[in-house]
Every structure is written in C-alpha cells, then in structure tokens.
Structure 1
Amino acid sequence: MKHKQIILDVDTGLDDSLALMLALKHPDINVLGITTVSGRVSAEQAYLNTIQLINRLDTHERPPVIKGSGEPLLNRFPIATHQAHSTEEQLHRILDGSSVEYPVLDEHAVTFMINTILKNAKPVTLVLMGPLTNFALALKVAPEIVDYISDVIVMGGAEGKGNITSVAEFNIYCDPEAAQIVLGHPDLNIHLITLDICQNAFLTEEDLETLLENDQSTSQLALKILQGITNQFRNVYAPISGAATLLYAMDSELLEGEMAEVSVETGSPLTRGMTVINRESYGDGHVFVPSDIDHQRFTESFVRTLVGEWL
C-alpha cells in the first residue's frame, strides 16, 4: 500500500523530469497531483512537458496535472523564465513534442492544492521544485491547510554562490516574495534542499551502465535526460537536484543537517532572492537545512526506483 501522499509542484524541464519519473515509479508514493508553475519554462510549457513525459513512461500512473501561476506574486522584475534556458528545449526534443490525450481538470493549481490537501484522508507532503508562487497563494487563500500538511520539501536556495545571480538560486530568485511567505511560515515542517547540497547528488559511470543495461523505456528515457543535463553542465557528474529532493521525501536518512533560521531578501535589487541561512539559531530555527548527503544511498535509490528492483 502506498503510504506517502504527495503533491508535486514543478516547472518541468530536464531536472524535474527525473523527479517526476522517480515519483511515478516509486512503490511507496501516491502522487495525488502534479501542479505546474512558471520557472525554467512557462507554466503552460511545464504542463505540456509533464503530460508528454508521463505518456512515455512504462507505468499506469496517470495523476491529475494542473496548470498554475504564470507570473510571480509581485511582477516587479522580469521573471527569469524564458531566459537563456535553451537547454530546456532539449526536453522538448527528447519527448518529441507529440500531442497526447490526457484528462483535463478545469481548475487552477492553487485551487487544486487547497481542495486536495483539505479532502485527503491522510496528511499530504508537498514537494516544491520550482518557484513557490502556487503554494504561497494557497497559504494566503486557505491558511487552514497547514493543519493537514505533513511536510513541505523545497528545492531551492543557496548558502554559497547562486546560479542565477552571484547570491541567488534560480527558484527563489524567480519569486522571492512567495519564498519568504513559505520559508517564513512558523507552522510548517519545512525542508530546504539547497543548491549547495545538490552538487553532490550525481550518478557514477557504474550507475549509468546499470541504466544502460536495462531495456525498460523509463530507464532509456532517463538516460537521454541525463545526457541533456550532462550537456547543460558540461560535466559527466552533473548534479540532479530534483532527484535528490524527491528521494529525500521518501527517505529522511538520505540527508543530514540541522534546523536553521531562513530569510529571503526581497528588497535590494543587488541581492534579490538571496537566502540568508542562520545555522547558529540555537534551536530557534524552523527550517531543516541539510549539510551532507549519503551519496551511495542516493545512487542506489535512484537506480533501483527506475529499474523497478525494489524488494
């Protein structure tokens, strides 16, 4: 019986695709729905990428996919979506861009989040892999949902160098006001999977060989996406942050860390989107921020899930 109830919020490009594949293949995850948000690609393109990806997988899982926010909460700065992310076009080519039939839900992602969280029989875990706009709006519209949420796992932020500016990580930079609403909420169990920790989430050549030897369509699709990520980073050991974030949702022992205070810079144009992480909060922090990853545990879980070798 699948015991983890998850809503995935994504801006589906190369990296998020791997996380989606893992979620839909994992034997213990019940994907209640997938919501899309503008980030690496537009919310509309993320929706199309997601349904095309699901259509390519060797699984019968067909969770609802719902389009969400196309702009940040305060559109003061041009959102970083549609910027130099030509690498994300590789996913379109990998999926071949063919049209697919998929059930359409006539509601917004925020409405879906709220209704699903409130109506689900078990507490829900949210795995947020893009800008935090959808969930921030859900918290504003229906603050009571916090009582029905188990954990909120956020892929974003950086303690060191950013990846969109010198101090800001992409997801947080896209909508820092939304990030501050989420990360600053005192009544949520928040886990912040930062850019720093994800640098050590990569596959070895042996792992890639295992996937290569497996003839399942999911494994072969994963290899194509991994090649796209390798090309993007120009490094065979490129980080796969989305996979690490998703697998942590299922295995808390994957990452070690401590509670910290986390704030997001929303005012200064020079440091907009910077995550200020204070690990010296002496027990007052409310956000779990990892400092180490069990690399062997990560790679074994990744490969086992994709090739279906869970005992």
Structure 2
Amino acid sequence: MKEIYFNHDGNIDDLVSYLLFLLAPDIKLLGVSAIDADGYIDPSVEVCRKMTDRFNLRGDQLAIAKSNSRAVNQFPADWRTASYSFNSLPLLNEAGKMMTKEADQPAHLDIVTKLENARKPVTLVMTGPLTDLARALDAAPAIENKIAKLYWMGGSLDGHGNVVQVNADGTQEWNAFWDPFAVERVLKSNIAMEVIGLESSEELPLTDELKMHWASLRKYPAIDLVGQAYSLLVNPPIQTMQLYFWDVLTAISALYPEVVLASEKRRVKVVTTGTAAGRMEDDPNGREITLVTKADKKLFFKKFDEILMRAE
C-alpha cells in the first residue's frame, strides 16, 4: 500500500486534489499541510479540516499542518481569494463544526515528523511551492532517504510561464517563482522527482462541457462539491490563459502512474535572481528530473469520476 504525504497551497485545484486523496482506495495518507501561496492559509486549512470530517473514507488519522513559510514573491491577491469562497460552500458547512484538528507543528516540521516515523519510503506530492520541503531538508537532511518519489506541480521548460508582473520576464511558473531558492535546494537533493509543468496537461483543459458533466452527477456529494468549486472560476487568472488540471494530474499520476502516457528525462537548473527568477532551464550539468509530456485523457477523467463516486 502506497503511503502519501500531501503539501499544497490551497486553491481550488489543490483542494480538489486533497479530496481525491481522502477518497482514493488502496493508499494511506500520512499527512497533509497547506502553505500560504495560491490560496490564503487560514481558509485553506479550514477547508481541509472540513473535507476530512466529511470525506475521510479510509479513516486515516489526520491533523492539518499549517505552514509558516513566507513568499519571496507572493501570488496576486485576486487569485488567492478562491480559498475563502471554497471554505463557504454549503456542503462543507452543513455540520456546523470542525472535528479534525490543526497539527501541533508547522508544515515543514510536520513533514519531518511524518517521514521520520514512516515505516517505509513515502510518496510526497506537492502542488504548491517547494519551500516546506526545502526547510524540512535543511532541518533534517536524513529524511531525503525516506522519500520514495516527489511528484511536483511546478515549473515550465518550454519558455512559457504564467507570471505576469513587472519584476518577472514571463518565462517562469508561479510555484517556482514564489520561492526560487526552495526549488534550488530541492534540486540539490537526490530525491527522485516527477514534474508536472505547465506544459504537461494540455490534453486536460477545464471546459464548460466538463462542468455540465459534473452537474449531471450531482447525486454524488463529492462530485457536487467539485462542480460547485470549479463554478467559482468565472475567469482564468490570466485572461488569455486556458485553465488545465495541473494539480489534479499531479495527484492522479501519483495514485495511478499509468495515467502518464509519456515523459522524458531532463537535466535542469533554476534561475534564482533577476527578472528570470523561478525559470527552470535545461542544463547538461543540471539535476535529472522526469518531466511529464503526455497524459491519457480518457483514463484521467475515468479515475477522477471513479474516485469521487466512492463518497456517500
């Protein structure tokens, strides 16, 4: 049975990914933590506590760890408010209380504790910045040997980024831009990395047809929650940008590796200063990663539905 630790940054895709981890069969979720990046930290943690109360199908023993890491470059405020909207959805507030606790330790130390106590190497899934892992490695370098594989949604190697602001040249992806130094620290480790970059999920756009599909399956409470959550996205963060299932592909590929149809080994480095900070580049002397290049669209959505339909 695969044991998983999940660290995310609290926007809609991250929270839907957590829902999938709560409901997926044949895994054990060792821990979950949220970082104050693409979503505001307090509502992000509350959503996770509420979803754990409602959808913890396997009954894993969970407390939600709250990161105290801080940004080098913070996400735009307009993007981050989605965590407040998600936290207000009726299905999550029907009980009127939260039973799942907040963890005693901040996220990076929670990662250390969970890995040190794990019985076997852990699959680490991160759909936000890498800062909590970088800090965990600095605090306890030996945990590197307790990580079977890191699945990370971040970066871009095709020269296209999603950062549009005056101190960036537009070639970087936001999770890397949030803290380029954390990316550099993790690349210095020997942890096996599978990277879902901006270019990795082009077969998986968020469409109106998909929203109608979820609407037809509202009798399943988890699908109803997902449909309501994605309905909050009236406009993409960047008006010319199509939204794709970057974070959810990261989660589902960790659960079902066969969803990844193609990937390639790349040697990379990250720029840490200047207007290119956060940009990942090919480098023959860089760190080897596995970059996902193609996903099985049909199998992805099949697994997506199957997992969500498990909730009563």
TM-score, normalised to structure 1's length? 0.85
Q: Residues 25-104 of structure 1 correspond to what in structure 2 (within 5 A)?
A: 25-57=23-55, 59=57, 61=59, 63-72=62-71, 77-80=72-75, 82=77, 84-94=79-89, 99-104=97-102
1:47 is displaced (CA, Å) by: 1.2
> Residue 122 of structure 2 corresponds to which residue in structure 1?
124
> Residue 248 of structure 1 corresponds to which residue in structure 2?
253
Ranges in structure 2 where 5+ consecutive residues have no aligned partner: 165-169
> Residue 173 of structure 2 corresponds to which residue in structure 1?
169
TM-score, normalised to structure 2's length? 0.85
CA distance in 2, matches of 1:247, 1:67: 23
Give RMSD over aligned pairs. 2.7
3-state SS, counterpart of residue 200 of structure 1: coil
Structure 1 pair 99/231, CA: closer, same or farther in 2 (3 Å)? farther
CA distance in 2, matches of 1:99, 1:71: 29
1:79 is displaced (CA, Å) by: 2.2
CA distance in 2, matches of 1:239, 1:206: 12
Structure 1 pair 213/105, CA: closer, same or farther in 2 (3 Å)? closer
CA distance in 2, matches of 1:111, 1:144: 13
1:181 is displaced (CA, Å) by: 0.8
3-state SS, counterpart of residue 154 of structure 1: strand
1:51 is displaced (CA, Å) by: 1.3
> Residue 140 of structure 1 corresponds to which residue in structure 2?
138
3-state SS, counterpart of residue 232 of structure 2: helix
Counterpart AA for 2:173: E
3-state SS, counterpart of residue 303 of structure 1: helix
Deviation string 1:180-210 (CA, Å, 9 cap, x unpaired) is 111332x111111101112322367378526
Structure 1 pair 245/211, CA: closer, same or farther in 2 (3 Å)? farther
Deviation string 1:38-76 (CA, Å, 9 cap, x unpaired) is 11123333212221333343736452211113403xxxx
1:94 is displaced (CA, Å) by: 2.3
CA distance in 2, matches of 1:12, 1:101: 19
8 Å Cα contact 1:11/1:39 also seen in 2: yes
CA distance in 1, matches of 2:227, 2:163: 26
Structure 1 pair 176/46, CA: closer, same or farther in 2 (3 Å)? same
Counterpart AA for 1:190: M
Runs of 4+ in 1 over 4 A off after TM superposition: 95-99
3-state SS, counterpart of residue 272 of structure 2: coil
Structure 1 position 109 matched with structure 2 position 107: yes
Structure 1 position 158 matched with structure 2 position 162: no
Counterpart AA for 2:75: A
Identical residues among aligned pairs (%): 22
1:176 is displaced (CA, Å) by: 0.6
Structure 1 pair 290/58, CA: closer, same or farther in 2 (3 Å)? closer
Deviation string 1:90-113 (CA, Å, 9 cap, x unpaired) is 323325776523223321222211
Ranges in structure 1 where 5+ consecutive residues have no aligned partner: none
8 Å Cα contact 1:156/1:195 also seen in 2: yes
1:265 corresponds to which of 261, 271, 282: 271
CA distance in 2, matches of 1:47, 1:180: 27
> Residue 303 of structure 2 corresponds to which residue in structure 1?
301
CA distance in 2, matches of 1:172, 1:18: 21
CA distance in 2, matches of 1:84, 1:17: 14
1:81 is displaced (CA, Å) by: 5.7
8 Å Cα contact 1:125/1:151 also seen in 2: yes
